[in-house]
Every structure is written in structure tokens, then in C-alpha cells.
Structure 1
Amino acid sequence: MTAQTTRLQGRSALVTGAGSGIGRAICGRLCDEGARVACLDRDAAAAKATAEAIGRGAVPVVADVANTADMRRAVEEAVAAFGRLDIAVNAAGVGASARLVDTALETWQRVLDVCLTGVFVSSQAQARQMIAQGGTAVIVNIASTNAQQPGEGLAAYCAAKAGVEMLGRVAALELAPHGIRVAAVGPGLTDTPMVARLLADPVARDAFLDNIPLKRPARPEDIAAAVAYLASDDAAYVTGQTLYVDGGASMQRYPSLAARKPSAPAA
């Protein structure tokens, strides 16, 4: 549904993880509200598909969020296209599930590289541009309820998302004198390609829905709406905070690994 507001009119945004799911929905919502958006993804075809689906001047950008040179170039491309960077949204992420004693170091490192180091590298490049250009600006990071809510089998993901929250709070302190706000959105279970297999399994789906007072997963558009609010002047006095969008799930105990583990596919 198209947003009935132009509160981001004339502003320029860069969104990471734009190729699918939450990132793609954020790109669409920001454009709906009047922003010009650079849609960044590591997958060139996915970035292009998002930009083409949105239209309205959206441009694709290809970069690895954990690569300093890539992100410096990505910010430069966004500024070359739009003249400045007013809004940055760091939505790139990956997941993995294994008990602590079974988690391979490579799996741990991959999750932290994308979900935490990627936010650090991206925020650094974005903030440098925002400071240099002057004026107000905002960075919105996508955290998770798992930043505060532990889940069995999610050591790497929980640690990374907790790091995203604290990194954002430190950045909010340091960047406030420059007129730059930093905030986060913490999604609960969201119906995206990354969790499609889990939601397709009746046992796992029921375990989550029983834990959500509103009795449904979030839609990517629910998360995008929260991001648009934080990016707008409606949130001009909000910095260093995380807005949880989870249907009330974080008031409950996170589903156990046994209850949410998708069953093996039928032979």
C-alpha cells in the first residue's frame, strides 16, 4: 500500500540489503514517502531488480557491506546520483542456527561479518559523508528482538544483533553534535525469504505464533513503516533508541530450539 505522506520529499537514502525481504520493502516505503533511494545489495541482479521494481529514480548499487573500500565507493555512488546522503538504512543480514558447541568458527565469523561488522563499516562510511556535507541526517540500523531475547542455537546472531544495538547507541552519542541521529528497528519474526522454510513448517510456525500476542508474523512492510518514521522529522527527537516491531513477542519467552526446528522434509 502506498504511503499517504510526502514527509521524506527531496531527501536521499541508501539502503543496504535491498535485494529482498525487509531491505526491499524499506526501499519501496522510502520512495513512497518521497525519498530518492540507492538500493544496495551484494547481488547485482537483486539490487537492479529492486531498483527497477520501485522506479521513481531508484538506482542500484553493488557492494559488500563488510568491505571498507566497497562501502566508501557505494556512498560515493549514492552521492553522485543524488547530491547528498540524508538517510542511511543498514538492513543487510544473514542467519545461522546451531548450538554453541556445534557452531563452526566459519559460521560465527560469517554472521558477525555481515550483521555486525557490516553495520560498522557501512555506518562509518555513511557518517563520514554526513559530517562532511553538513546539515541533519539519520542512520537507521536493523537490529532484532534477538538483541535482547536469547534463543537457543542463535549464539552468533544474538551476539551480532546485540552488538548492532550498542554500536548504534555509541554512534548516536558521537554523532549528535553533528546533527546526525542514529536509531534502530528490532523486528520480530518477519515473513521474508530468509525464514520461509521455518514458516512453511507447521511445528515451527505454531511455536512462533503461540509466542506472538498479535498471532501473526510481521510483514516486511511493517518494518519498513517503522524505519520511515525514524527517518522522518516525526522522530526528530529520537536517537540512540531501538523500536521493537514484533507483535508483542519480546514480552514472552523465545520459542525453544526443539519447538521451532523445522522437521525433515518427507522422503
Structure 2
Amino acid sequence: MSIRVARLFSVISLFGAGLAASSVVMAADVQIAVAANFTAPLKEIAVEFEKDTGHKVIASFGPTGGLYTQIKNGAPFEVFLSADDATPAKLEAEGESVPGSRFTYAVGKLVLWSATAGYVDDKGDVLNKGAFKHLSIANPKTAPYGQAAHQVLARLGLTDAIRPKLVEGTNITQAYQFVATGNAELGFVALSQVYKDGVITSGSAWVVPAEMYDSIRQDAVILKKGADNSAATALVEYLKGPKAAKVIRAYGYDL
């Protein structure tokens, strides 16, 4: 091998090492706050995002109202995936987010669900019969799905009759757990918690018609702490892409 060729290989090796080092430097962590109903799809999306970009997702899940309070109290979140559109809009108005970064990443659906097969009929008539002791819902003050549940009961004229039977979870995850563990015979939960790839994964359910409650438009926004984080920007763009869309639809959300 000539000296010239040897030098060429040396330059190529150094160039390759430089690129590798550069990619390591460019990779970053992004801390995100995620509405509880979006737990399962976000975990799937995060795995693919990390593979594709090298960035790492550090996620915290909870009720939208609770996450808002944490953000206002200085939590280190850089991206917020809300269960509604009002909360991100409020943060935007308060100067807590990057202007122009807010967008709707999913439209949620409400479902009346029981862990027991055949317990809930496909029209929700089980509510009118009242042959149950407990109906689980998420706290309507902090969780949009809880608000939607109250709207459905009001639309059916059942608010007063069912109020004594209501069991409130702090978020939609706890509302689901009350039903899954048998502490409530049925409950209003997010479709994404009991649905995957076109089928209800367990028990029985009534997918509540969308016209019975206000549209659950779930918005995402880059928060001020993520303004200079390339991983935050990359995640938001990834959520708008085809890979994320496939996962989001698989869990029953509309786009």
C-alpha cells in the first residue's frame, strides 16, 4: 500500500469517527408530560422514535389538570401531550410554550366498558337498567374524559339517578383500574385503553357516539424549557409523521 493510499484511508477513518462522534453529541433526552389515556401508544411511538433518531424519551403520565399544575410549578417538561386542546392553548396564552408549536395529535373516543364479557350491550342500555353498584369515571375537574362521561350521562338524563353510584379515579388510568379489578362493574374509559387494531381487547363495551360529548381534541405543544432542545422538536415532528399515525389509529383515535 502506498503512502498516499494509506493517508487516504486515515482521512476516511477520521471522517467516519467524526461523524459518529457528531451523532452522539446531537442525540439528546426529551422530558415529556403525557395525558394518561395516551400511555400505551406513546410507549410504542417512543420505542420507534428512539430507534430512528437516537434521542431518548423520558415520559411522565398523569391527568391533564395535574400535569398543567406541575408545569406551572416548574416541572422540567419540554413537551406536553394533553388530553384536551384547552390546556395547551392556556399555556400558550400564558407564555409557557413555544409560539406556533401547538397542534392536534389525536382525537380521543369515550367508551363504556366492563371487564365482564357480555355485561355491556352495544347501545349502552345497561346504564338505563341500573343493575350495577358502581360506575367508574375519571375526575371531571382534571380529566377531559371525565368531563365527557358527565356530558353523556346528562344527555341520557341519568345524572341524578347514577350520581350515588359514581366512583371517581384521579385520572383515566385509575378509572380503568377500578373496572379491571372488579371494584366497579363498569366505567367510562378511553377507547385506547381497551382497543387495539380494530377489536375490543377484553370484556364488553359500548363505543359512545361522538355526538354525545364534546370532541376530545388532544393537543401537543413544545414548552419553553424545550425551545432549544432538538429532541423536543424532533419528537413533535415525529408525532405528525406516518409511523406515529399508524400507532395512534391502531388504538382507536382519529387524526
TMscore range, shorter length = under 0.3
Higher-Rg member (1/2): 2
TM-score when normalising by structure 1: 0.26
Using CA pairs under 8 Å that are at least 6 residues apart, name the structure with larger relative contact order, 1 or 2. 2
Greater strand fraction, Structure 1 or Structure 2: 2
Greater fraction helix: 1
TM-score scaled by length of structure 2: 0.27
